[in-house]
Structure 1
Amino acid sequence: MIAERFRFHLESKDFAAERFHLVALEGREAIGELFSFTVECALAAGDAVDASSLLGAKVCVVTTLEGLEVRRFHGVVAAVRDKLEPAADYRTYRLHIAPQTHHLRLVHTQDIYQDMTVPDIVVAKLKLCGLDAQASEMRLSHPYPQREFVVQYRETDAAFISRLCEHLGISYFFEHEFEGEKIVFTDHEGGFRSLGEARFNPDGDYRDVYLLELDAELVPSTYIVYDYNYRIPLVSIIGSAELPGGGGGMAEYGCHAKTPEESGQLALIRSEEQQSKHQVFIGASNKPAFYAGGVIDLTNHPRKTEAQLLLTEVRHQATQPPAGRAGDASYRNTFRGVPTGFCYRPARVTPRPRIDGLLTGIVEPGPGGSADIAHIDAEGRYTIRFLFDTAPTERQKASRPVRMAQPHAGPGYGMHFPLKPGIEVVMAFVDGDPDRPIIVGSVPNPLTPSPVVSRNQNENTIRTVSGARIRIIDR
């Protein structure tokens, strides 16, 4: 545990941070999660501030060792606690510091993305919360295919980004540079940067890495990913991967793979996701430079002579005496890490939204259609405007081509009564997946009334838009 030579202080361009003397710090960083830091500050009673005035301010916690800067923790003040001391010569506040991407947690919405890759969707969301190109980085090993139709449904922007990345095995973490924090997305080992050597020293004086333990867990050995693509119904969309030394297996259906090659890639990602928890090291150190997403070269361990670890989680703790009081400062962290040599994949922990009921939409003219005639493509599909889309009406986009369920269908025969633009339709979703809509029927409304109402309730009617009619009257 570092003593007197360690110090930490607060900086900000948004308020007089020099008046805030930090006495305690706790923080947690983890791959695939937004970081969180809490600092306890003491102010002279005459310098007290309104707690709400600090919300949203950009701040930086600077740590120094023997007068030299070691690391910065950037962020914004997401929450404040004023301890409201009734009679004291100082005031105490607890500031909760989160990344700028914390704003993604404050947006809960529905949205539709079409013909975009997952990285492009992520970048679009980051821009909406004010992050420019310098505040984010894509360290990806290969281009990703476009997704025809992706729906964000009743979830925050943060959850939406997380689940999309988790599905494809894309990790994200934060690097804190001099001017601010940067969110980094990566899908390969080379995307994680080295922190250099970390010496193991178990002598009890809390220097370097002073504790290291290993948790080993049995994981499945066989991974099968398969799906159905109605565009190529005779092609088997299936892929598999193996992990040596495991037991059992996992089969995943409905993964949005369009080809056998995509299924095979996803199966490999699923195996690497499980491998990421097969062996996990737990340790403790006094290294403030440790962060989730950094790689350390562990040396001097009697049983692990050479161990390179990717840090997946780091928890920080630091204290220092109030201004004007004698005493030692202290810093320590605990960490979790996995061996390198394979591609780390984040666990899929973010819930995927489901639409288990029915929703309504409006038939759009579609490409080549008109106000009177909806475009029906070569496969008999329609474009639909979803009513849950939060974009202004003039900016709402029609969906990808959507199939319509029929009471009878076959190769070149069956039933189909074409829908016109403006008709309200009822949508179901295959396996509850918002990205897989299907039209199950149409319903009347005051703009498109039913041909059978109270005045002719004894009629059984089929009537076309031109007025052609088949009518059976029950007496």
Structure 2
Amino acid sequence: MDGTFSQSGRVGRLSTVLGEDALALLRFDGTDRMNDLFEYRVEALATQDDLDFDQLIGTQATVEIEAHETMRPFSGIVTSAQWAGAGENGFKYALTLRPWLYLAGLRRNQRIWHRKTVEQILRELFADYAHLGDPAFEIKLAFDYPELEYTVQYSENDMDFARRLMERFGISYYFQHVTGSHKMVITDDELNLALIGERPFHPADRHHQAEEEHFWSWEPERNVTTGAVRQVDYNFKAPYQSMETRHMGDAAYPEGRIESYEYPGDYLSEDVGKVITRMKVRQERGADRRIRAVGDCVSLTSGYRFKLGGDKVPGHGEAFVCLSATHSFVSEAYGTGDAGSDGYSYSGSYVLMPDTAPMVPPKRTPLSRIYGPQTAMVVGEGEIDVDEYGRILVQFHWDLDKSYSMRCRVSQNWSGNGWGGIVIPRIGMEVVVEFLEGDPDKPLVTGCVYNGRNKVPYALSEHKTRSTFRTNTHQGDGFNELRFEDQVDQEEIYLHAQRDMNIWTLRNRSELTEGNQSQRTLGDKYERIDESSRVEVVGNIDISAGHEGNLIGAAALLPHGYEFRTHPERYEKARANWPDDNGSIRIQAQNDIAVLSGNTLTLGSTETTDVSTAGHLTINAIKRISMKASRMLSIISDASASIRAAAGVRMTNKKSGLIFDADGNVTIYGKSLNIRIDGDVKVTGRKINLN
């Protein structure tokens, strides 16, 4: 079939990118709702049976209906096109028109916004769709909104994410139409809604013929709603802060105080919580008053305000907001046998509310949820990036923008006020992240896992019986480690300190080694004991020094003395069987041993004290040397013996003596003197006196 249908002069017209009259309007119906998508269904007639749908779908189309000397456009994106069969006068097509926001519902994404207000997020989100309108959207907010530390779009399409944010903050939207375009208007104030003046009511049973748009059915209604909201939340930065808020609505009917309790309340302070709780009550109470009307107000669409005039009905003289409008239009026929009519007709049904009622969108969009844990990589500056609360930054595998999370709290094995356990995951580690209440905006790190880059400390499964806690030196090489080996006959606890190890015991410390024990210090060792020290050895004790050993007197080092003592049974055995080494104490050095005392040094034994040397023995005193025996004192030499004194020598007992004085005189005195010589006796002198 050649040619086109002319829509010139008709009440209803359809324009598309295919040309002004490539498709002629037959029928139009559909619904638009505030805070929702509109959907208009169009039945059209064409002379071609092979329209190029690739040119049509995804483009703007407009239905224009002329009524009461005004032209009302209904514009939308062609989201569906269908060949509906052949008629007597042409070929029928069915089109579906939806807003550009519908296209935003086709793009699922996962993104992170840092420190943005809801308005900033919406502008950034919708910027990708700005070419779909002239303009595609307008934001008209009367109130200020807080900067959000962290907002996640997780596995949500752009439309649902935007609507969820607007519902969260009580922000509404609707669409305004012009020929060839439509605009999304985002607002939080009913005064920003378009005002179209007065629309009268005239009842249908009076057969009123009106030359202007009017309603002929008006049915007010009331609905029971939640009357109060109570909320509680938690802020870990102020754990004892009161976070409970409650607000009562204005319902006056019985059971109008039904309360809804919600946790979490989505706020961090009580003051903010009061605002949010009040808004949620308005959300609930906004569903109380409704008017269902029918008429031919073709210019009335969702998001528009008007004043009711005409005949007296409840609400006369008041202003109302259109929440939804359902339109139905049938065009004049294009000849016989088509879907048109001899004339045209338009009717609409409307859901309204007083403009004094709360204008807060209900929460209909499901919240995004993450069910179960995920893993992520720790990111930040340097090797360790942590704040005062032990929070870290992570980057999720799904984040294509290579952004980072908010500061995430890290689960620890114990946490008290200044005590407990803490381990900070370091940059480059893979951590396990869970989400409080499943909320992507509330991540919590609960653990760490190894991967192909971060290897285990010991090769597996070779060391599968080994449990360890090994650290890594910050900005250096080395580690500290506590390790447990559970292999049978190889059980071990291993402790490694890369630098210093300090042990502080406030009371007693005991240590038992059932086998052998060895200790080695490669450097110097200093040990101080403020009171007494006792070393008890059941067997032998050997103390050896490579070069020089010094044993300093007790008074110089220890206030109460230092004692080495063998076991009593071995001690008795050593005394009775001195040649036996069991129970003996031995001090040995490769070179010298010095024994020093600040006052008195005493060597004693209950039986015999033996001082012997393979070479020379020298006993030296600055003042005096005293040798005393209770019974007998013997000085024996296998060769020669000499006694030498610079002043004098005295050898005496109680009744006799031998004196060598400093002047050279020798005196022998006693009761009697016996001299026995086997050989000769020679006495010489300058003078010899014999008495």
- Answer whether TM exceeds 0.5 for this pair: yes
1:272 lines up with 2:275 in the alignment: no
Aligned partner of residue 456 in structure 1, secondary structure: coil
How big is each residue's C-alpha offset from its partner over 1:316-367, in whole Å with a ceiling of 9 and x where there is no partner? 1101133245611010110101112143111101111211201111000x2x
Distance 1:241 1:8 in 2: 50
Distance 1:145 1:311, change over 3 A: same
Match of 1:114 in 2: 114
Q: Quote the residue 1:37 is aligned against.
A: 40
Separation in 1 of the partners of 2:430 and 2:85?
57
Identical aligned pairs, as a percentage?
24
1:152 CA displacement: 1.1
Aligned-partner residue type, residue 290 of structure 2: V
Match of 2:58 among 31, 47, 56: 56
Tell me which residue corresponds to 1:331.
346
Instruction: Within 5 Å, give how 1:89-238 maps onto structure 2.
Output: 89-131=89-131, 134-178=135-179, 180-204=181-205, 205=207, 207=210, 208-238=214-244
Q: Does 1 or 2 have the higher relative contact order (CA < 8 Å, sep 6+)?
A: 1
Task: Flag the structure with higher helix content.
Answer: 1
2:77 is matched with which residue?
Answer: 76
> Shift of residue 160 of structure 1?
0.7
Range that drifts further, 242-251 or 420-429:
242-251
Residue 375 of structure 2 is matched in structure 1 by 360
SS at match of 2:273: helix
* C-alpha displacement of 1:444: 0.6
1:412-469 per-residue CA deviation (whole Å, 9 max, x = no partner) reads 2221222221111111111111110000001111111222521110101111123322
8 Å CA contact 1:6–1:331 kept in 2: the answer is no
CA-to-partner distance for each residue in 1:373-402, whole Å, 9 max, x for gaps?
Answer: 12111111100101122x2xxx32111111
Counterpart position of 2:297: 287
Aligned partner of 2:321 in structure 1 is 310
Cα deviation, residue 133, structure 1: 8.1
Quick one: distance in 1 between partners of 2:144 and 2:10?
A: 44
Candidates 446, 463, 473, aligned match of 2:470: 463
Q: Which residues in structure 2 correspond to 1:380-395 (within 5 Å)?
A: 380-389=390-399, 391=400, 395=401
Amino acid at match of 1:127: A
- Report the alpha carbon displacement of residue 64 of structure 1 after superposing the two structures with TM: 1.2
**Counterpart Cα distance in 1 of 2:274 and 2:403:** 32
Aligned residue in 2 for 1:319: 330
Report how far residue 89 of structure 1 moved: 4.8
Structure 2 CA distance for partners of 1:381 and 1:140, relative to 1, 3 Å: same
Output the amino acid matched with 1:118.
Answer: V
1:446 and 2:452 aligned: yes
Query: Which protein is richer in strand relative to its size?
Result: 1
CA contact (8 A) 1:187 1:343 kept: no
User: In structure 2, how many angstroms separate the alpha carbons of the residues matched to 1:457 and 1:269?
Assistant: 58
Task: Give CA-to-partner distance per residue, 1:155-177, whole Å, 9 cap, x none.
Answer: 21111111111111111101113
Q: Distance in 2 between matches of 1:425 and 1:413?
A: 24
Select the residue among 295, 304, 308 that pairs with 1:298.
Answer: 308
1:20 alignment counterpart = 23
The structural deviation recorded for 1:224 is: 1.9
| Bigger mean CA deviation after superposition, 216-225 or 398-407 | 216-225
* Aligned-residue CA RMSD (Å): 1.9
- 8 Å contact from structure 2 (residues 222, 289) kept in 1: yes
Could you tell me which amino acid in structure 2 is paired with residue 345 of structure 1? V
Q: CA deviation at 1:6?
A: 7.5
CA distance in 2, matches of 1:71, 1:411: 68
Counterpart of 1:98, as a letter, is R
Q: In the alignment, what sits opposite 1:257? A: 267
Larger radius of gyration: 2
Instruction: Please report how far the alpha carbon of residue 268 of structure 1 lies from its aligned counterpart in structure 2 after TM superposition.
Output: 1.4
Q: Matched residues in 2 for 1:156 and 1:201: separation?
A: 45
Contact 2:89/2:334, CA 8 A, preserved across alignment? no
CA distance in 2 between partners of 1:179 and 1:88 (Å): 30
Kindly indicate whether the alpha-carbon contact (under 8 Å) linking 2:129 and 2:136 is maintained by their aligned counterparts in 1. Answer: no
- Displacement of 1:27 in angstroms is 1.7
The separation in 2 between residues aligned to 1:114 and 1:441, in whole angstroms, is 24
Give 5+ residue unaligned stretches, structure 2: 1-8, 473-477, 488-691
Q: TM-score, normalised by structure 1?
A: 0.92
SS at the partner of 2:61? strand
Query: Partners of 1:267 and 1:6 in 2: how far apart?
Result: 52
Give me the whole-angstrom Cα distance separating, in 2, the residues matched to 1:189 and 1:225: 27
| Structure 2 counterpart of 1:425, one-letter code | V
Which residue is equivalent to 2:655? none
For 1:89 and 1:318, how far apart are their aligned partners in 2?
Answer: 20
CA shift, 1:179, in A, is 5.6
Letter in 2 for 1:359: Q
Structure 1 residues 221, 89: CA separation in 2 closer, same or farther (over 3 Å shift)?
Answer: closer
Offset at 1:74? 1.6
Point out where structure 1 has 5 or more consecutive residues left out of the alignment. none
Following the alignment from structure 2 to structure 1, what is the Cα–Cα distance between the partners of residues 147 and 364? 24
Q: Return the offset for 1:88.
A: 5.4
Aligned length: 458
Query: Which residue identity does 1:117 align to in structure 2?
Result: T
- Alpha-carbon distance between aligned partners in 2 of 1:387 and 1:339, rounded to the nearest angstrom: 49
How far residue 110 of structure 1 moved from its aligned partner, in angstroms, is 1.5
